[in-house]
A and B are shown apart, each in its own frame.
Chain A
Amino acid sequence: MTATDTPIDVRPPFWRDLRVIRLVVQLVAVVVVFGLVWILGNNLLDELRQRNLPTTFDFLDQPTGVNIPDSSFDPASPIRSALLVGIKNTFLLVIVGIPLVTVFGTLIGVARLSTNWLVAKAATVYVEAIRNIPPLLIIIFVFNAFILRALPPPTEAATPLDWFVISNLNIVGPSIATTEGAGVVWFLTLIGVIAAFVVGYARTRYSERTGHPHHRILWGLAVILFFAVVGYFIMGRPVSISFPELDGRIILGGFGGLGSYFAVLLALVIYTSSHIAEIVRGSILAVPNGQSEASNALALSGFQRLRYVILPQAYRIALPPIINQYLNFTKNTSLAIAIGFSEITLITFQAIGNGSPAPQLILMLMGGYLIFSLTISLIVNYINRRLQLVGR
């Protein structure tokens, strides 16, 4: 016993003790990092003071002095509200772009594995060509080729069906206009959404019990529509469709955006989809072959096999690398500065050009993108955890 105990009890001297070494390494790392930040920060402050440049954030309250396109922004508002408009515009790119890249990326990824020779080759060419072009180039190309040159100038704006106003300046479609009493309609619609979930749950139970298809999405939509329509007529039709109208270059009513917004969106969707397509393709190939064979044995159709068997498992593999692409999409929106879309980078640089201090604004810009990226990571990681738990 003592013979076996002693070697365990005897520890090497502290300079060879793994625990001590680990502790020391970590402490040194922390000290080095904080020391560097401290030195660099102090250096920055010293240099700023020597050059009589402002070191505070007071400039945020100064008037912006410039107008921002496609917003009711008042040039007299402070710089902080201009930055908020920039954040809103970046957010609008991200919130619309991420679902789009997910859908297109998946479609193209699946197309690359298609048994149809033409479809598979077309998807391959798309992925290989787009993936190897820098996104800035795609943005400038799309803006010049698909927006500036392809669409009519605002003087000759196209108005198909009188529902849309399309020019290289704006693309606007119908929107919903509300009058008094609309709040009740929205409230009833909200109740409809809750009811739809209840009905959906009931349909799922029914389907599990009887084996009949549940059609819960159709049922849910029908319930929501029912509540909305009832509310609409009870309240005397307070909700109507607003069609865009041209007044000079300014468009009244309707819902849409600047040509440059659509150029950035389209370009980045084209670019990011090519990356997501590769991830999806790889993930599908990573699903064991037995799964396909089993679904064939169950006589599932090609679509059913993909929808119910392959893709759910493929997404489990694909999601972590797809997060990276979402983050890339978010960061690449800053390239919109090249074609003058007022997202947060352009607004920041605009403020710097008009006399606000660069170091503070660039720090804020970096912080802003960090918050954007961390939020996306958090959300998708949450979804990822949910997916992982469901299956295994």
Chain B
Amino acid sequence: MKRWIALLGALVLVLAACNGDDDSGGDDGGTTAAPTEGTVAQVEGSMAETVQSRGTLNCGVNDAVPGFGFTAADGSFSGFDIDYCRAVAAAVLGDSSLVDFRPLTAQQRFTALQSGEIDVLIRNTTYTASRDGGEGATFVTTTFYDGQGMMVKADSGIASIDDMANLSICVLSGTTTELNLAARMAAGGLAYTPLTFDANDQLQAAFIAGQCDGWTSDKSQLAGVRSQWPDGEGGPDALVILDETFSKEPLGPVVADGDSQWAQMVNWAVLCTIQAEESGVDSSNVGSYSGDDAGVKRLLGLEIEADDGTMSVFDAGLGLPTDFCSQVISQVGNYGEIFDNNVGEGTALGLTRGVNAQWTDGGLLYAPPYR
């Protein structure tokens, strides 16, 4: 009897202890949650501080689209999107080389952004409403206005998408491209077999083997792939990109929701390249600007003389250094230079500016006034 009482007592003690454990566990959870909230709140206030204290920018990129985001054989990254990573690093950290490139698949990219693995996503990502809403993403100014197209083999005899009834079409999974393809084929009443891949390499293998008749993606991506088409398969001339553009694909940098300061810093790093082109500032003349255009001086963070002779430097209060745009232009270049170096007519892609021209030239690039 005695030992039963002892046992019961022990049990009660244990349970009490467990409850205590549980409570303290809960408290622990509470207390650990509280600092987490604190740190998150802090991050929400300034991802910029995190980036600046870390000293590098984690930039989510593509590594398989020539001209936009591509890894060379020696492991170096190059491309239009890559240059925008550099531009953000130049603006925020003052040095365009302080970028840690993180290659991501289409499916991984938003999770990487939400979880804070990357600070900014510049990976030919289309701005859509559901991504803005459901993926917790904030899109900044579009860097490249693209549209979806279809690439076929030149000897296939296919002249338009309406010729593609009952054929098979390769597409990357987890992309807007995939959604547009379904919509375009449904609109044309065309049956088709979609083959979805999660990386361009395997898709290319399938396309070469003739598994699919068409390869659909953003036209810029297709141009990139076409430019690097292996000579053994006939080189770029073996492929044709059909004229039809069947979607709007505004591509631009993306940051996580809930950090408006960081979003505006990334945004203005982009806008700086656009404004600089409009103002005629490029990497060759940015260091030696001697004009007296107050707008350019504001943009470049040069001293401006007021009527009473005092000198001042314009600070827009973005949280960026006043000379951020000088850094961006001198280290990376203005929009036109970035475009021409990576995808322009002098490159293998040979893209024309098209809608990606300045608004003064009838294009869509339009930077708000920097004042």
Could you tell me which residues of chain B, from 20 to 42, have a CB within 8 Å of some CB in chain A? 21-22, 25-26, 28-29, 32-33, 36-37, 40
In the complex, which residue of chain A has the Cβ closest to the Cβ of B131? A355
Give the chain B neighbours of A250 by CB distance below 8 A: 166, 191, 193
Q: Could you say which of B22, B106, B111, B258 contacts A31, with CB atoms under 8 Å apart?
A: B22
Q: How many Å lie between the Cα of A65 and that of B256 in the bound state?
A: 25
Instruction: Determine if B182 and A67 form an interchain contact, defined as CB atoms under 8 angstroms apart.
Output: yes
Give the chain A neighbours of B54 by CB distance below 8 A: none
In the assembled complex, the CB of B369 is this many whole angstroms from the nearest CB of chain A, namely 31
Give the chain A neighbours of B9 by CB distance below 8 A: 14
A2 within 8 A of B: no
Give the chain B neighbours of A144 by CB distance below 8 A: 205
Q: Could you say which of A31, A260, A346, A358 contacts B173, with CB atoms under 8 Å apart?
A: A346
Q: How many Å lie between the Cα of A355 and that of B111 in the bound state?
A: 10
Could you tell me which residues of chain A, from 325 to 354, have a CB within 8 Å of some CB in chain B? 337-340, 342, 346, 349-350, 352-354
Given the known inter-chain contacts A50-B40, A66-B194, A67-B192, please indicate yes or no for A169 contacting B202, CB distance below 8 A.
no
Give the chain A neighbours of B197 by CB distance below 8 A: 339-340
In the assembled complex, the CB of B89 is this many whole angstroms from the nearest CB of chain A, namely 24
Instruction: Determine if A337 and B179 form an interchain contact, defined as CB atoms under 8 angstroms apart.
Output: no
Instruction: Determine if A75 and B211 form an interchain contact, defined as CB atoms under 8 angstroms apart.
Output: no
Could you tell me which residues of chain B, from 36 to 86, have a CB within 8 Å of some CB in chain A? 36-37, 40
B206 within 8 A of A: yes
Given the known inter-chain contacts A75-B186, A249-B193, A353-B107, please indicate yes or no for A53 contacting B22, CB distance below 8 A.
no
Give the chain B neighbours of A70 by CB distance below 8 A: 193
A120 within 8 A of B: no
B154 within 8 A of A: no
Interface with B: A22-30, A125-133, A269-277, A289-297, which one?
A22-30
Q: How many Å lie between the Cα of A385 and that of B52 in the bound state?
A: 64
In the complex, which residue of chain B has the Cβ closest to the Cβ of A252? B166
Instruction: Determine if B33 and A52 form an interchain contact, defined as CB atoms under 8 angstroms apart.
Output: no
In the assembled complex, the CB of A79 is this many whole angstroms from the nearest CB of chain B, namely 12
Give the chain A neighbours of B11 by CB distance below 8 A: 20, 23
Instruction: Determine if B136 and A148 form an interchain contact, defined as CB atoms under 8 angstroms apart.
Output: no
In the complex, which residue of chain B has the Cβ closest to the Cβ of A9? B3
Q: Could you say which of A11, A169, A342 contacts B3, with CB atoms under 8 Å apart?
A: A11
In the assembled complex, the CB of B155 is this many whole angstroms from the nearest CB of chain A, namely 10
Q: How many Å lie between the Cα of A24 and that of B9 in the bound state?
A: 13
Q: How many Å lie between the Cα of A22 and that of B167 in the bound state?
A: 66
Total CB contacts across the A-B interface at under 8 A: 185
Q: Could you say which of B14, B168, B182 contacts A75, with CB atoms under 8 Å apart?
A: B182
Instruction: Determine if B257 and A51 form an interchain contact, defined as CB atoms under 8 angstroms apart.
Output: yes
Instruction: Determine if A27 and B6 form an interchain contact, defined as CB atoms under 8 angstroms apart.
Output: no
Could you tell me which residues of chain B, from 181 to 233, have a CB within 8 Å of some CB in chain A? 181-183, 185-186, 191-198, 202-203, 205-206, 208-213
Instruction: Determine if A14 and B198 form an interchain contact, defined as CB atoms under 8 angstroms apart.
Output: no
Contact with A along B100-118 (1 / 0, CB 8 A): 0000001100110010000
A46 within 8 A of B: yes
Instruction: Determine if A346 and B166 form an interchain contact, defined as CB atoms under 8 angstroms apart.
Output: no
Instruction: Determine if A46 and B33 form an interchain contact, defined as CB atoms under 8 angstroms apart.
Output: yes
Most chain A CB within a 10 A radius of its CB, from B15, B173, B183: B173
Give the chain A neighbours of B28 by CB distance below 8 A: 39
Q: How many Å lie between the Cα of A67 and that of B191 in the bound state?
A: 10
Q: How many Å lie between the Cα of A353 and that of B128 in the bound state?
A: 13
Give the chain A neighbours of B198 by CB distance below 8 A: 337-338, 340, 346, 349
Main secondary structure of the interface of A (DSSP, over half): helix
Instruction: Determine if A168 and B211 form an interchain contact, defined as CB atoms under 8 angstroms apart.
Output: yes
Q: Could you say which of A19, A39, A69, A340 contacts B202, with CB atoms under 8 Å apart?
A: A340
Q: How many Å lie between the Cα of A53 and that of B136 in the bound state?
A: 6
Instruction: Determine if A247 and B25 form an interchain contact, defined as CB atoms under 8 angstroms apart.
Output: no
Most chain B CB within a 10 A radius of its CB, from A15, A152, A354: A354
A54 within 8 A of B: yes
Contact with B along A12-43 (1 / 0, CB 8 A): 01110101100110011001000100110011
A210 within 8 A of B: no
In the complex, which residue of chain B has the Cβ closest to the Cβ of A54? B134
Q: Could you say which of A11, A154, A354 contacts B179, with CB atoms under 8 Å apart?
A: A354
Instruction: Determine if A14 and B182 form an interchain contact, defined as CB atoms under 8 angstroms apart.
Output: no
Instruction: Determine if B206 and A340 form an interchain contact, defined as CB atoms under 8 angstroms apart.
Output: yes
Given the known inter-chain contacts A35-B25, A259-B211, please indicate yes or no for A352 contacting B167, CB distance below 8 A.
no
In the assembled complex, the CB of A149 is this many whole angstroms from the nearest CB of chain B, namely 6
Given the known inter-chain contacts A50-B258, A67-B194, A346-B196, please indicate yes or no for A249 contacting B107, CB distance below 8 A.
no
Give the chain B neighbours of A53 by CB distance below 8 A: 114, 134-136
Q: How many Å lie between the Cα of A52 and that of B37 in the bound state?
A: 14
Most chain A CB within a 10 A radius of its CB, from B32, B135, B183: B135
A155 within 8 A of B: yes
Give the chain A neighbours of B212 by CB distance below 8 A: 169
Q: How many Å lie between the Cα of A54 and that of B114 in the bound state?
A: 12
B279 within 8 A of A: no
A213 within 8 A of B: no
Instruction: Determine if B211 and A154 form an interchain contact, defined as CB atoms under 8 angstroms apart.
Output: yes
Instruction: Determine if A168 and B210 form an interchain contact, defined as CB atoms under 8 angstroms apart.
Output: yes
Give the chain A neighbours of B179 by CB distance below 8 A: 65-66, 75, 354
B294 within 8 A of A: no
Q: Could you say which of B6, B178, B209 contacts A148, with CB atoms under 8 Å apart?
A: B209
Instruction: Determine if A65 and B182 form an interchain contact, defined as CB atoms under 8 angstroms apart.
Output: yes
Give the chain A neighbours of B183 by CB distance below 8 A: 65, 75
Instruction: Determine if B211 and A169 form an interchain contact, defined as CB atoms under 8 angstroms apart.
Output: yes
B355 within 8 A of A: no
B174 within 8 A of A: yes
A253 within 8 A of B: no
Instruction: Determine if A42 and B3 form an interchain contact, defined as CB atoms under 8 angstroms apart.
Output: no
**11 interchain pairs (CB within 8 A)?**
A11-B3, A50-B258, A53-B134, A65-B178, A65-B183, A67-B182, A69-B196, A75-B183, A340-B197, A342-B196, A346-B198
The 8 residue pairs across chains A and B that have the minimum distance between CB atoms = A353-B174, A153-B210, A248-B166, A148-B209, A353-B107, A14-B10, A75-B182, A340-B197
Q: 14 new A-B pairs (CB below 8 Å) besides A65-B182, A148-B211, A153-B209?
A: A19-B7, A31-B18, A52-B136, A65-B183, A67-B182, A169-B195, A249-B193, A340-B196, A346-B173, A350-B107, A352-B107, A354-B176, A355-B128, A357-B134
